[in-house]
């Protein structure tokens, strides 16, 4: 069946497993506490929505504008040789922090921070002078956190079929916890603060879109997906561009998105929602919550 031909490759891209639930997702059913985020919270709902298929490319596009972040990816990531491996690691961290116990969330964050310890080097500043960077630098941690939160929130607001529980501020405030787990100093806790951080970065003169960035954009635009999924990806990419701030879209040399293109984005997301069904991670987390409730009532 066509559904089976599409579903397997899509699950392979997202989780590394074309059938069933990955073992790390099953592990979310275990644990001794409810985790950092309540069932049905803003984080739960935003991160389980199919709009994350748009949020992912959007976050990567924004991240690339910081030369330190771009250098880290270029110099230390095997994103060209193994793009799905990098994606799987990111999805695993997001999912574990969002739906796991506190111990699982903290463990996943330590794992990522340990990888980041090795990510350091130099990039050329605007004047050609070498600038040292490390993935654990506070400015890089803050930039990655801000563009992640902004991408997932804006994609949900634009393409989900329901409002953010508690409002957009609730998502930014709650996801600040994930930033703190990663070592982000004073992450934004409201949409106003989030917007202010983006404007400050824009006006700082640090962000740029040189040939290295534009090459990464071309890769994000046409990643090496399974052949059966390639016809639908352009709609997701253009949907990501539609959510960008105008100034970022201009820097990245992307034309404005036409209404017909956004209709295609919505159609692909709706088809993907039907194809994938209910997200597995919240269900595993609910098993843990039910076990904790039974234990507490015994």
Span 176-206, pLDDT tens digits: 999 999 999 999 999 999 999 999 999 999 9
**Residue 262 DSSP symbol:** H
Buried b (16+ CB within 10 A) or exposed e, 120-143: bbebeeeeeeeeebbbebeebbbb
d(CA 46, CA 101): 18
- Residue 158 pLDDT: 98
Lowest mean pLDDT among 41-45, 127-131, 159-163, 184-188: 127-131
Q: What value does the mean pLDDT take over residues 237-264? A: 98
Q: What value does the mean pLDDT take over residues 4-21? A: 68
Whether the pLDDT of residue 1 is over 50: the answer is: no
φ, ψ dihedrals at 111, nearest 5°:
-60, -45
Confidence band, pLDDT 50/70/90 cuts, at residue 87? confident
Percent of the chain at pLDDT > 70 equals 91
Under 8 Å between Cβ of 157 and 73: no
Percent of the chain at pLDDT > 90 equals 71
Coil/strand/helix, residue 33: coil
Segment (H or E) for 295: helix 280-297
Segment (H or E) for 122: strand 120-124
Whether the pLDDT of residue 10 is over 80: the answer is: no
Confidence band, pLDDT 50/70/90 cuts, at residue 17? low
Q: What value does the mean pLDDT take over residues 20-31? A: 90
The domain spans of the chain are 2-18+34-290
The CA radius of gyration of the chain, in Å to the nearest whole number, is 19
**CA 23-26-31 angle, 5° bins:** 120
Selected residue with higher pLDDT from 204 and 85: 204
DSSP notation for 134-202:
ETT-HHHHHHHHHHHHHHHHHHHHHH-SSPPTT-HHHHHHHHHHHHHHTT-SS---SHHHHHHHHHHHH
Provide the angle, in degrees to the nearest 10, between the axes of the packed helices 67-76 and 211-221: 70
Of 191, 157, 134, give the one whose Cα is nearest residue 49: 157
pTM recorded for the entire structure: 0.93
Segment (H or E) for 121: strand 120-124
Confidence band, pLDDT 50/70/90 cuts, at residue 14? confident
- 135-153 residue pLDDT tens: 899 999 999 999 999 999 9
Coil/strand/helix, residue 124: strand
Whether the pLDDT of residue 2 is over 60: the answer is: no
Tokens of 248: 């970022």
Under 8 Å between Cβ of 157 and 168: yes
């Amino acid at each position: 069946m066509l559904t089976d031909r599409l579903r397997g490759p899509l699950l392979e891209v997202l989780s590394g497993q074309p059938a069933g639930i990955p073992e790390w997702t099953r592990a979310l059913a275990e644990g001794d506490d409810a985790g950092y985020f309540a069932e049905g919270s803003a984080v739960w709902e935003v991160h389980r929505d199919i709009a994350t298929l748009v949020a992912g490319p959007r976050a990567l596009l924004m991240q690339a504008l910081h030369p330190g972040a771009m250098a880290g990816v270029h110099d230390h990531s095997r994103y060209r040789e193994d793009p799905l491996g990098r994606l799987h690691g990111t999805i695993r961290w997001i999912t574990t922090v969002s739906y796991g116990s506190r111990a699982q969330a903290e463990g996943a964050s330590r794992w990522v921070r340990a990888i980041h310890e090795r990510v350091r080097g130099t990039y050329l500043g605007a004047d050609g002078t070498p600038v040292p960077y490390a993935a654990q630098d506070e400015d890089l941690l803050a930039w990655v956190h801000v563009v992640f939160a902004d991408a997932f929130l804006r994609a949900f607001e634009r393409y989900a079929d329901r409002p953010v529980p508690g409002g957009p501020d609730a998502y930014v405030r709650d996801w600040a916890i994930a930033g703190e787990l990663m070592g982000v100093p004073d992450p934004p806790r409201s949409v106003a603060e989030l917007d202010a951080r983006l404007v400050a970065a824009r006006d700082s003169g640090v962000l740029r879109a040189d040939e290295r960035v534009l090459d990464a954009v071309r890769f994000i635009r046409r990643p090496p997906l399974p052949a059966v999924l390639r016809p639908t990806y352009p709609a997701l990419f253009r949907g990501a561009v539609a959510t960008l701030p105008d100034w970022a879209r201009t820097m990245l040399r992307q034309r404005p998105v036409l209404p017909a293109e956004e209709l295609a984005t919505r159609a692909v997301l709706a088809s993907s929602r039907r194809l994938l069904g209910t997200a597995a991670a919240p269900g595993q987390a609910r098993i843990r919550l039910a076990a904790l409730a039974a234990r507490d009532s015994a």
